[in-house]
Structure 1
Amino acid sequence: MFGDLWRFDTDQFQGLDWFRQMMDEFFPETGAADIRSVPRGSFPMINVGSTDDAIRVYVFAPGLTASDLDVSVQNNVLTLRGKREVPTPKSESEERRPYFRRERFSGEFARSIALPDGLDADRAEARFHNGVFEVLLPKREELKPRRIEIKAA
């Protein structure tokens, strides 16, 4: 009897999708992108993890090379700076084509990430492989967890 109350026609929600898309295009710099913790358009995307020995930062920057990214640490803040170029059009007709949607970021960028206290920035390392940069920030020895042996009394 009430089964039809739970069925929704998808056409009812198309207007909402259109409205959300129009708002995204009108206000491109506001709001968070999906479930991400950074504003839409932030580049590069990062993951930060912690182990007993170090903090590891993974920087996802496809299309960049090791020379395109500058990584520095000062006062427990990791700063990533660089520039991502726009691919050049192959022909004059391709250059004049209108874009319906353009999501690839190009130009200069900078991201800063606050890090916890107790890192040894002098021993920091950075590696690069297939568009993923890994920044390893070792923890100082005195802050690493130590196993305490229990002696029988």
Structure 2
Amino acid sequence: MKGSFKRFSSDVFPDFEWLQEQMDAAVRNFGVSSGIRAGARGTFPPINIGSTTDAIEVVAFVAGVDPQALEVSIDKGLLILSGERPAAVADAGAHKTVYADERFAGKFRRVVNLPDDADPARVEAKYADGCLRVTVMKRESSKPRLIKVQ
């Protein structure tokens, strides 16, 4: 056992990075994400969430989804994105062997927990180039303001 510790160099950080990569690779096969804020692998649609001083921005990457098939709603502090992505068109009469099928098809639903300063009465959703951008404005009362001293 004493000899097994000799293979570690004096700088152990590369060894820990290697171990982290190995652990990530091991759990990746089970659909578990190793990131603290990441969703499960294969979750559709992938989303980006950020904020400015005025709004919370959510961008959902919904390429291949008809904008009319998308539904955006807010209920009790939750932003709910749902819809359906059709299956890829296949040749009806041709025999086909599929080697990989990674494109998600079917109904989906993503739920985003909004912060307390989100104003559910002021929401805007726009679809362009396969991206659904939802802007939720922040409440005026939560924004910093300058108070004049008299």
Q: What are the Cα deviations for residues 22-44 of structure 1, in whole angstroms up to 9, with x where unaligned?
A: x83xx5xx212889811111000
Over the aligned positions, Cα root-mean-square deviation in angstroms equals 2.4
Q: Which residue of 1 aligns with 2:128?
A: 129
Q: What is the alpha-carbon distance in structure 2 between the residues aligned to residue 52 and residue 40 of structure 1?
A: 31
1:25-40 → structure 2 map (5 Å cutoff): 27=30, 30-32=31-33, 37-40=38-41
Distance 1:140 1:69, change over 3 A: same
Match of 2:59 in 1: 58
Distance change (3 Å), C-alpha of 1:144 and 1:63? same
Aligned pairs for 1:115-126 within 5 A:
115-126=114-125
Gaps of 5+ in 1: 1-19
Question: The residue matched to 2:141 in structure 1 has which SS?
Answer: helix
Structure 2 runs not aligned, ≥5 long: 1-24
Structure-2 separation of matches of 1:147 and 1:135: 29
Q: Please name the residue that 2:78 is paired with.
A: 77
Does structure 1 residue 111 correspond to structure 2 residue 110?
A: yes
Report the number of matched residues: 125
TM-score normalised per structure 1: 0.72
The share of aligned pairs that are identical, in percent, is 38
Following superposition, the deviation at residue 120 of structure 1 comes to 1.3
> How does the TM-score come out when normalised to structure 2?
0.74
Structure 2 Cα separation of the partners of residues 57 and 86 of structure 1: 25
In the TM superposition, what is the alpha-carbon distance from 1:150 to its structure 2 partner?
A: 6.3
Distance in 2 (CA, whole Å) between partners of 1:74 and 1:36 is 22
Which letter does structure 2 place at the counterpart of 1:109? Answer: F
